[in-house]
Amino acid sequence: MAKQAKRQLEGVEERNARSPDPMDIHVGSRVRLRRMLLGMSQEKLGHQLGLTFQQVQKYEKGVNRIGASRLFDLSKTLGVPIDYFYEDAPLPALGMAEDQEDYGTKSDDHPVFDFLSTREGLELNKAFVRINEPRIRRSIVELVRSLAGESQGS
């Protein structure tokens, strides 16, 4: 109890014991993004790692923390270096105090990343890059902007 009072006086927020750590959520979202980019199901990834799809699901949501040996196995299976999982990670988790107030909050700075992490975003982008004609691609961008109520100059 004394530790909790001391932390409150120091302005350190206490995380709920059941809430996932922001770094675990970030690493899990990178696992999910890479798996989806490869077109791999949770079941297939789990099979290759000797896990159930439910365990993969918990890793991807950050509910279960990914240990060092499992992260190493994931990097081999997904064909990425280990540091891939930490790209764009919350800075305070890396020991950089200047962004401490943003730690654990969802940033509006990366809506593209959030969109690409969805099935629709991934499918849309995969289909879009298969369009070879630049004029058609430009027309699609203009169409989407107009549907979103955005002007061409934005």
Instruction: Examine the domain organization and report whether 93 and 122 are in the same domain.
Output: no
pTM equals 0.62
Give the integer Cα–Cα distance in Å for 104 and 20: 10
Provide the mean pLDDT of the chain: 79
Tell me 20's DSSP state. Answer: P
Contact predicate 82/74, CB 8 Å: no
Residue 132 CB partners (closer than 8 Å, separation 6+)? none
Percentage of the residues of the chain whose pLDDT score is greater than 70? 73
pLDDT in tens, 60-111: 999 999 999 999 999 999 999 999 999 888 766 455 444 444 444 444 446 7
What the block records as the tokens of 65 is 């923390």
What single-letter amino acid sits at 96? M
Number of structural domains in the chain: 2
What domain range is 146 assigned to?
A: 118-154
Instruction: Examine the domain organization and report whether 44 and 83 are in the same domain.
Output: yes
Name residue, tokens 């982008």: 125
Instruction: Examine the domain organization and report whether 12 and 53 are in the same domain.
Output: yes
Instruction: Examine the domain organization and report whether 36 and 96 are in the same domain.
Output: yes
Residue 111 lies in a domain: no
CATH of the domain at 34: 1.10.260.40
